[in-house]
Amino acid sequence: MQTTPSLTADERPLVLLAQPLFPEFAATLAGRYRFVLAADADAASAAEARVLLVPGLKPVAAEHLARLPALELVLGTSVGVDHVDLDVCRRRGLTVTNAGAAFADDSADYAVGLVVGVLRRMAAADAYVRRGRWAADGDYPLATKVSGKRVGIVGLGNIGCRVSRRLAAFGCAVSYHSRSPKPLSPYTFVPSLLDLAAGSDVLVLCCALTEETKRMVNREVMEALGKDEVLVNVGRGGLVDEPELVRCLQEGVLGGAGLDVFENEPAVPPELFGTDNVVLSDHRAVTTPESVCGVLEVITANLDAFFSGRPLVSPVQL
């Protein structure tokens, strides 16, 4: 990353913060920009601010945006931007950016780890050994193989493309569903999510959460996926009808799930805690020290580009 000489306080461009900066970000950016928490901004700062930086998934609602008449850019640090009121941004002509591809490799690695973990029951086998049951009761029951499975990817963006390539290397037959076909993709496009589920052994969710995709994986989709098949979600919890997911797992309608995201985080349905066909994690697929450095580079590039009048590096299509 290029370094720029520190500016005096008066020279530094103003950037409002939706919430405090992560320590790693503050250490790098503080000498270059003048940061003010939006909640603490006085009338002059609110009237002047052209950029709102949104660390993490802090909700940015219409009333927050209404206080900022000069706002031009909402700068996101995550891949998804469902925590921002995009309708208001569209109406006002605001530009929104996200983390671009900074998290894509780590998310894809983790998604594949969840696929392997669920199909091979790795977490359950680990718990079985730790409880001393291997010596007492014999081998843990066999689980199914990964190689050769039919994998359906929902959302063939930065993350979905990488998941596809990784699982294709396992010998999996990959197909995908998205808003439109990707002409350069070597994988099979399936126009209907229901059809994709019916033709898959594993369904991996990598798409953004929007009004159109909210609870798109409902009971009908899970029934189409089937009793021996598994669902993996590294997108957003709201993509899945969570109460129905719990019921489908309890009733044997669905074979298993690997879940890194949940509808009301950090709340997790307690019915999932005692199941051995589910792998749970705490919305950590995207985050490694390397990905934090990557998103910091994207944020810095977007800020530098905005204040110098150059094209932004990761604008979101609204």
- For residue 67 the two structure tokens come to 């206080």
- Indicate if 283 belongs to the active site: yes
Name the β-bridge partners of 264.
267
C-alpha R_g of the chain? 22
Check 90, 133, 220, 265 and give the catalytic one.
265
Check 50, 219, 283, 297 and give the catalytic one.
283
Show the beta-strand stretches assigned E in 77-137: 95-97
List C-alpha distances in Å: 98 to 81, 130, 273, 309: 7, 41, 33, 18
Question: What's the angle, vertex CA 199, arms to CA 196 and CA 203, rounded to 5?
Answer: 60
Check 236, 242, 244, 263 and give the catalytic one.
236
Contact 197, 153 (CB under 8 A): no
- Indicate if 150 belongs to the active site: no
Burial of 228 (0-12, 13-18, 19+ CB in 10 A): exposed
Residue 262 corresponds to which amino acid? F
User: For 174, how many CA atoms within 13 A lie in the half-sphere containing its CB?
Assistant: 21
Question: What's the angle, vertex CA 62, arms to CA 57 and CA 68, rounded to 5?
Answer: 95
Query: What does the alpha-carbon distance between residue 202 and residue 58 come to, in Å, rounded to a whole number?
Result: 32
- For residue 68 the two structure tokens come to 């900022």
- Indicate if 265 belongs to the active site: yes
User: Which residue, among 139, 119, 118, 115, has the nearest Cα to 128 in the 3D structure?
Assistant: 139
- For residue 138 the two structure tokens come to 């014999």
* Residues tagged active-site: 236, 265, 283
